[in-house]
Structure 1
Amino acid sequence: MTQDETGDAENGSSRSIGATFRHLRKQQGISIQELARKSGVSVGMISQIERDLANPSMRVLTAIRRALNISMQAMFSDDQPDTRDEPPFVRRAENRPFIDLGTLQKELLTSGGNHNLQIMILTIAPGASSGNTALSYPAEKGGLVLEGELVLSVDHREARLGQGDSFVFDSALEHGFRNESDRPARILWVIGAVQFDRHL
Structure 2
Amino acid sequence: MPDKSPAILRLDQLPINDRGNGARTIPLVTRKCGSTSLINGITAFDPGAKIGMHFHNCEESVMVLEGEAIAEIGGERIPLKAGDTTWIPANVPHRFVNESDGPMRIFWTYATVDATRTMVETGIEQSIDDEHQKAKRL
More helix by share: 1
Q: Give RMSD over aligned pairs.
A: 2.2
Matched position secondary structure for 2:17: strand
Alignment of 1:51-70 (within 5 A): none
Provide the C-alpha distance between the structure 1 equivalents of 2:103 and 2:90, rounded to a whole number of angstroms: 23
Conserved? CA contact 1:128–1:178, under 8 Å: yes
Query: What's the counterpart of residue 100 of structure 1?
Result: 18
- 1:1-200 counterparts in 2 under 5 A? 88-93=5-10, 94-102=12-20, 103-110=22-29, 112-131=33-52, 134-193=53-112, 194=114
Residue 164 (structure 1) shift: 1.2
Contact 1:152 1:178 in 2 (8 A): yes
What is the Cα deviation at residue 105 of structure 1?
0.7
User: Paired residues, what number?
Assistant: 110
Please list every run of 5 or more consecutive structure 2 residues that lacks an aligned counterpart in the other structure.
117-123, 126-138
Give, in whole Å, the separation in 2 of the partners of 1:159 and 1:114. Answer: 31
- C-alpha separation between the residues in 2 aligned to 1:88 and 1:100? 29
> 4+ runs of 1 displaced by more than 6 Å?
none
Structure that is richer in strand per residue? 2
Counterpart AA for 1:149: E
Q: Which runs of 5+ in 1 are unaligned?
A: 1-86
Same amino acid, percent of matched pairs? 27
In structure 2, do the counterparts of structure 1 residues 195 and 128 end up closer, same or farther at CA, with 3 Å as the change threshold? closer
Kindly tell me: are residues 195 and 177 of structure 1, through their superposed partners in 2, closer, same or farther at Cα, counting changes over 3 Å?
closer
- Quick check: 2:64–2:85 contact (8 Å CA) kept in 1? yes
Q: Distance in 1 between matches of 2:13 and 2:59?
A: 26
